[in-house]
Amino acid sequence: MEINGLCDLGYKGDKFTWCNEHLGDHFTKERLDRFVAKNSWTEVFQEVWVEVLPARSSDHKPLVLNKHTIHTRCEDRRKLFIFGACWIKDKDCEEVVSKEWVNVSGSSDLMEKIQSSLRECGAALTGWSRQNSKDNEGELRSKTNRLKELEEEEKG
């Protein structure tokens, strides 16, 4: 890890992330799972922590990377827009931006048009992202339930 400039992000909760589930002298617990990051990343994301969750269906405990959210508001009390870098990978993102950028009209002042376009694109992307998140959560829930069903069929 040192050679590659990585550091362990630590943990909150149980120190051990794996258990062999044996009884007696053969019982073993270890911290096998961890989050690592480059030092440059940790300088940018200082308000993160790793939480070790209880194991539910595995001998490994899940880890969650949490981020402290700073609620900053503009002078006009609107929430600041934050562009999700992962959106670039989605083919629909460009379509959302193109559609909103072209639709803006109004002032003849170029700077006002740009600001208006940015506001409209931000609002459209936020709505689009929320809808995608809901769709993805539903799909994930459905697939998780199906996986549980298959595990139960395999056991019984």
Calpha distance 38→56 (Å, rounded): 30
User: Could you tell me if 87 and 156 lie in one domain?
Assistant: yes
Range of the structural domain that residue 106 is part of: 83-156
Q: What share of the chain is helix, strand, coil (3-state, %, to 5)?
A: 45, 15, 40
Phi, psi of 111 (to 5 degrees): -65, -40
User: Could you tell me if 87 and 153 lie in one domain?
Assistant: yes
Q: Give the H or E element holding residue 123.
A: helix 110-155
Give me the half-sphere count of Cα atoms (radius 13 Å) on the Cβ side of residue 3: 0
Segment 42-67, tens digit of pLDDT: 887 888 889 998 887 788 999 998 88
Segment 64-120, tens digit of pLDDT: 988 865 544 444 455 677 788 888 888 888 888 888 887 766 667 777 778 888 888
Task: Give the pLDDT of residue 78.
Answer: 57
Q: Residue 75: inside a domain, yes or no?
A: no
Q: Residue 77: inside a domain, yes or no?
A: no
User: Could you tell me if 119 and 87 lie in one domain?
Assistant: yes
As for how many domains the chain has, the answer is: 2
Contact 131, 138 (CB under 8 A): no
Q: Which neighbouring-strand residues pair with 65? A: 50
User: Could you tell me if 88 and 66 lie in one domain?
Assistant: no
